[in-house]
Structure 1
Amino acid sequence: MVSKTSTFLRLSANYTSLYIYLGIFTPFWGLWLRAKGITPSEIGLIIAVPYLLKIFVAPMISQFADKREEYWRPIMFTAISGFVFFTLYFFGQGFWQFMLITILVNLTFPAITPLLETITVSQAGKHNLDYGRIRSFGSFSFIAASVLFGWYLKENDTDDIIWAVYLSLILLVVTISLLPRGNKKKKTDTPLVANPIKSLLSDNDFLLFLLVVGLLQMSHGVYYSLGSLYWQEQGMGEDTIGILWGIGVIAEILFFVFCGKWVSNKPVMSIFALVGFLGAIRWAVVGMTMSLPILFVIQTIHALTYGASHLAAISYISRRVSADMAGSAQSLYSALPLGLGLGLATYIGGVLYEQSGSLSYYAMAVLCFMAFLIASFLFYRKK
């Protein structure tokens, strides 16, 4: 029998490898594309593709895994497939080739996160583990990768970005191969839901949850795709950019480690309302100033705009969704708020960015304020 400590380490290792990849890819992939001659609007479109493909890929693969009642083989397949197709970037040139390669990579890759989340929540419950602490390994890895690689790029060529991403994908495949098996649900007398996705999308409460968390996650569209480029064009060095990303993730780590129980004990809409209000302030300030002291402070709100909203979403799914639909629920959260929502925001943000970088951030502030208004209404309506 796999021990509690072994399970904790294996799950944590997967978040570590996944977020090493994201810590390099998210802040710096746009810089690599720009160095290859891709325009800001084209970068926004390319980076939007994974988010948009999540709409179809994550639910399809996760529902397949729910029906099999096993998650390890599907997640292993997604990792290997994404890694193999990523190799084509070394040979690609120009917008259309990079677009095609991005599509191929993301025919399966977007399913990794919801499947990993499903496995982790299942194993955390089975072994009485703290999800937030496991997830904090991912956040720590993100900050380490973004800061250290930012320093590395200060003295080295942007062509090294693709090699760093490639090596991180190899590590991800290795750690996924070591994930604990035994993720099959216990058999019960209750039949499995024939179409979990249809059932979830028929639930008004679940749809409102997706709407509000979607607005909050959409507000990160410009930051994730063009944030580093925006700061670079304002004269910041890559090392300072890495530190700014790192501050946000440090705040996120502390929130994951110390505030998980607080989030799970609060109504989800009250958390979303708080996040929306402070998120609107965050993005408006980022668009207004390049003062490092102010940016260092405002970046700590990432603990809420991402950390609190994500923990609240995971808590909602674990409490309100039955076990036989857990993978599908995670996939819809990944596909719609983190896929369709972020994809649209990323593309629209890229178009607005070509008019004004500040304008694109003001648009993200509006999304957060909309989430604040809707969540506040839903919270008080239930009181």
Structure 2
Amino acid sequence: MGTVKDTGTGTARADLDRPRGPRPVALLFPGQGAQHTRMGTGLYDHDPVFTATMDEIFAELGREGARIRADWLSADPAVPIDDVLRAQPLLFAVDYALGRTVMSWGVRPAALLGHSVGEMAAATLAGVFTLSDAVRVMWERLVRLSRTPPGGMLAVAATPAELAPHLDGEVVIGAVNGPRQVMLAGAAAPLARAAAELRERGITCRPVRATIGFHSPSVAATAPQDEAAFAALPLRAPGIPVYSCYTGAPLTEREARDPGFWARQPSACVVFGAALDALLSGGDLVLLEAGPSQSLTTLARRHRAVGAGSTALALLPPRRGEDAADRESLARAAEALRTEGAAPDLARA
């Protein structure tokens, strides 16, 4: 986009001499809470890259993969979509498959940013893990997490300081997604008490779709076994910059190769807002959400940099609909990237 410069004569002119090119694309990957039944199924057996990638992940999961696939394609799954053994593997799979789909268009992402399990998808696309290793270690961790006490998360329209009276070690700040966009997390009973107290104070809060207390101490007990599992993997430096939602900064080689860094993620606080600030501080971008529900697109559009030079798009619709809606949403995003000049293989099609 051309800038406006003072010519020294009291008038202004458009700086048309600056070469115009496509803005870099950064992919955003949503996590727990974004899931819904049949998310992205309209692309299955329609987009060849998406279909092949989903099938590859189901195959890596073996017998359980066939059950997960059946539940994903069903409007009435045998295991509810919010169960940790369905939401997490399917969010990872849909996020990763959409990322692969976009890259098949000739898009070389300038950066990747995931929220919660979305960071696993981002790191796998960036080459920190092989897909096989990521799927295996993630599933083993999810089985362990499924045995932790019932819990949940609350999305709260408040600042961390305003929530301090409600934090007691059992209820903690699980995520800071932006200004007055905070999530509390913890075991079921303490979290229910906190929700009641917040509503009495007139503070808006709503449950996030989760059956355990991600990003709280209630799930920390699995970390030692998780760390041992990650330590057995050949961890690599990311081949694409990954902005970590756990540090609010680009993932370093040291962090990427640290088994403890990945093992702590289910219980660690997410600082997505800080990571988004860091990502957008480097210049104008096309932010493209590769996952269901458009939750990260909504957060991104509230950022001061989006609309001022950056833009935020989503590959999938904001909620469950007809299968055709998935295909239409993907086509709109593809057309936007084609118009931008950011998808060279689509431009040649």
TM-score range, shorter chain: under 0.3
Which of 1 and 2 has greater Rg?
A: 2
Larger strand share, 1 or 2: 2
Higher relative contact order (CA 8 A, sep 6+): 1
How does the TM-score come out when normalised to structure 2?
A: 0.26
